[in-house]
Structure 1
Amino acid sequence: MTTQTIPVASKSVRELIAELADVEDQVRQLRTSQQSVDAPTQQALHPDLVGLLHREADIVASIRRTAATLRS
């Protein structure tokens, strides 16, 4: 599983939307939790999920900033 690390500020809205769709597809394909190694009876978030959700938030924030700039 790979996510692009190109700064979102340097991408067009079209590129951001395409990347957002890709990230969302990756999130849907991941198991959201896994058994904790330290406590097998507890569930822990999948480590890749956390990174994907942060990337998704960055992309959405950039799209919102761009939209606000275009409305100004």
Structure 2
Amino acid sequence: MIGIILVASFIAIIIVAFASIVEKRLADSIVLSMGVGLGSVVLFFIFQAPDVALTEAVIGAGISSVIFLMALKHLKASL
């Protein structure tokens, strides 16, 4: 069962990462990159590393995505 979840999570991360690269709209690309971080959280939990998973969720998927979205908002406001 864990093997199926592991493979599915890995494939989902690759698909979402590719979608993030080819996405034309920057805001959508940022949200998709947040999805890559959340997929990594699942993998870290599967590998029994809850401390790393929590750090990735808070910093990797949370704070950095919010900072990128705020920067994008300020860039659009200055144009």
Normalising by the smaller structure, the TM-score range is 0.3 to 0.5
TM value normalised by structure 1: 0.46
TM value normalised by structure 2: 0.43
Higher RCO (CA < 8 A, seq sep 6+): 1
Whose strand fraction is larger, Structure 1's or Structure 2's?
Answer: 1
Greater C-alpha Rg:
1
Whose helix fraction is larger, Structure 1's or Structure 2's?
Answer: 2
